[in-house]
Structure 1
């Protein structure tokens, strides 16, 4: 087998057409890691700050060995951000963007409808089920498993999805959607800079976003994190632009080097997370490093025919298609299932049921909510463009 047989360099030709099924499957893998993380950290041994000597061999292995990537939920979110920047940037690089308002319309209808469905389900479950803390489970779970009254202020915060409010009140994963939506509102501006800049200028701009987030943290508070994460979107956008160069470099490497880089990138993306107590500067640096590692994972996924075949299978692509709804609904279902069945049904059976129900609900959400909303978003954006063109021509 020759090196050219092992790694391919013709794949980037499809990137600027938006035909990259591997990226969809990477989202599915990332969502599975988020679910794995939440299943794992139900145990105090996996989440709570305990001395190492009090942990068993399994907990030590999962917390400190490379298997820790199975609890790399934060790295998954970083990968989501980089993938979003990659995919959303393609129209801008092709000079095919149709204005800020149509872009925002599509993003709103892509993000909000499944999100509203998940929040509505959570509110209904809070009204039906008595949420309570459970002895033997972690501080993470018990911090979330409390009854929350749907006050007007809380509902307004959830309705807008871009402000500051108790983001974990009904679904603990929506913090990332808040940042995603904020960044979506300014993404055309980010791309305005990137499309006109050289590689050196764009890299400096991306790093400057990280520096700006650190500098403004004392005044902007949680909003500074959105500036930080916008650098992850910018990295994804630059990756889309220069994927042909990076994959050309990749195909010249030996299989051993490729596997070494891939293993390092996976560890870099999913293993590390700076504890909140160490400050926002270290958190920002580690997060940006994870985003760089996510870029390497994407490059290898595109360049390697073996990975490409695996990521293009029907199962992998299905996991990618339902990944957004799977990400949204699993925590809502997990908290409800534990409050109803804990102590009555073995924990492993509860987790298996939660996973199965989450897949079912995510599948229904994809076909009944996501796809119609995406179609509507494209129709409304297209209609807006046609009206604008008609107004200009007259």
Structure 2
């Protein structure tokens, strides 16, 4: 969200387009080309989200059998698609309230939302979550890979469960793919994103080992782990700056994924991090985080067009933050939470139907079992 607020500003637009020629202040330089970039590192935050999502979705299956697939898939797709489609409708409503126009000298990212179509057809096309949302809610590009990962989850689980002594080798293969594909792959470079989920899945299957390793780290050393993870996460800006031809930039996801996995490990194993992330305010933000993710871009874009993209960042960041959190909370209450209830009700109905079918097909007490039926 902070990333979108920053790049909606006219002066920050040059950094977003990697075409920075004007002189920078010391503070601006530090926010771009040092680990302080983590404060508004949008693309890097997506990598953390993918590692965390892979961990969370795989954990029930790693610890036990997990839910049946006939229950998992409907519930998962309902929880993803219903709020996402509602967010497209919400974004379209904001375009009717706030006129979008090309702003001379404005942010390229902001003007993109004025040049792309934003009508009902984009709601229809974007509802697939694969493409077609135009300028309504471009944040959905990252949800596309979440949907694909959810559909392909059984394959990820099979590969993670297969030959556990090779788990480190599997992680190395994933990282090598992330590094090599953008350099040599001519077909769809963004394909590397779905492989990042694998690291989270592997972490779920090695949770005990990760917890044991965390228990041996002294409290002061966690600061070093956090710092190293942030440096790895923001490596492409520190090493390559704005040079698009630098291999370190093109292959940035490989190194950033290690930093993302490190931050997830900190959240799992560091007591201070767990206390912080369990704080009431952080937990509340976590509760509405998906709704906030779905609605923040239309809010940020709408406010930027109202002001012509000229609000000073020191004012725009808190103003847009408060507005986006308020809208996210309302969206959660009106859309996301009811969709969760619907998904749970659907899952309960499918489980009840499956249990009834299993009971009705079970042999009676007087039935003669077939040979080997006990083992089956």
TM-score, normalised relative to structure 2: 0.82
CA contact (8 A) 1:52 1:60 kept: no
Deviation sequence 1:266-310 (CA, Å, 0-9, x none):
22224536879449x866742132222112112222222222111
Residue of structure 2 equivalent to 1:24:
none
Picking from 130, 137, 149, the partner of 1:183 is 149
8 Å CA contact 2:114–2:135 kept in 1: the answer is no
Name the counterpart of 1:214. 181
Q: Over aligned residue pairs, what C-alpha RMSD do you find?
A: 3.0
Question: Which of 89, 112, 126 is equivalent to 1:120?
Answer: 89
Partners of 1:205 and 1:87 lie apart in 2 by 17
Structure 1 pair 389–204 and aligned structure 2 pair: CA distance change class (3 A): same
1:314-329 aligned within 5 A: 314-329=280-295
Deviation of 1:140 (Å): 1.8
Alignment of 1:136-285 (within 5 A): 136-146=105-115, 148-150=117-119, 152=121, 154-162=122-130, 165-200=131-166, 203-204=169-170, 207=173, 211=177, 214=181, 217-219=185-187, 221=188, 225-226=190-191, 228-270=192-234, 272=236, 277-278=244-245, 285=251
Paired residue secondary structure (1:160): coil
**Offset at residue 149 of structure 1 (A):** 4.5
Q: For the residues of structure 2 that align with 1:74 and 1:257, how far apart are their CA atoms?
A: 27
Distance between the aligned counterparts of 1:101 and 1:282, measured in 2?
A: 43
**Is residue 74–residue 270 contact of structure 1 (8 Å, CA) maintained in 2?**
no
- 1:72 aligned partner: 41
Query: 308, 319, 324: which is aligned to 1:353?
Result: 319
Provide closer, same or farther for how the CA distance between residues 171 and 199 of structure 1 changes in structure 2, counting only shifts above 3 A. Answer: farther
Distance of 2:112 and 2:203 partners within structure 1: 38
Shift of 1:345: 7.0
Deviations along 1:42-88, one digit per CA (max 9) or x if unpaired, are: 33443414456622333222111222111211111111111111111
> Can you give the 5+ residue segments of structure 1 that lack an aligned partner in the other structure?
1-34
With over 3 angstroms needed to count, the CA separation of the structure-2 counterparts of 1:95 and 1:196, relative to structure 1, is farther
Structure having the higher helix fraction is 1
Change in 2 beyond 3 A, CA 1:361/1:199 = farther
Q: State the partner residue of 2:277.
A: 311
Q: Give 3-state SS (helix, strand or coil) of 2:127's partner.
A: helix
- Does the CA-based 8 Å contact 2:106-2:309 persist in structure 1? no
Q: Deviations over 1:163-217 (max 9, x none)?
A: xx34452112110011111111111221123223324157427725963993995
**1:353 Cα deviation after fit:** 3.2
Residues 108 and 283 of structure 1, relative CA distance in 2, 3 Å threshold: farther
Contact kept in structure 2, 1:72 and 1:271, CA below 8 Å: no
Count the aligned residue pairs: 352
Where do 1:52-131 residues align within 5 Å? 54-131=23-100
Distance 1:234 1:369, change over 3 A: same
Listed one character per residue, the Cα deviations across residues 302-343 of structure 1 (whole Å, up to 9, x for unaligned) are: 222222111111011111111111111111011112222338
2:300 paired with 1:334: yes
Alpha-carbon distance in structure 2 between the residues aligned to 1:138 and 1:345: 12
Distance 2:20 2:141 in 1: 29
Aligned to 1:25: none
Distance 1:99 1:211 in 2: 31
Q: After superposition, what is the alpha-carbon deviation per residue over 1:209-268, rounded to whole angstroms, capped at 9, x for unaligned?
A: 96399399534x2xx634x22322121121122222123223323344321121110222
Cα distance in structure 1, aligned partners of 2:89 and 2:213: 48
Call closer, same or farther: CA 1:350–1:45 in 2, change over 3 Å.
closer
CA distance change for structure 1 residues 345 and 83 in 2, over 3 Å: closer, same or farther? closer
Q: 2:57, 2:355 → 1: CA distance?
A: 23
Gaps of 5+ in 2: 362-376
- Residues 276 and 327 of structure 1, relative CA distance in 2, 3 Å threshold: farther
User: Do 2:175 and 2:254's aligned partners in 1 also have CA atoms closer than 8 Å?
Assistant: no
* Rounded Cα–Cα distance in structure 2 between residues aligned with 1:381 and 1:236: 25
> Residues of 2 paired with 1:147 and 1:47: CA distance?
17
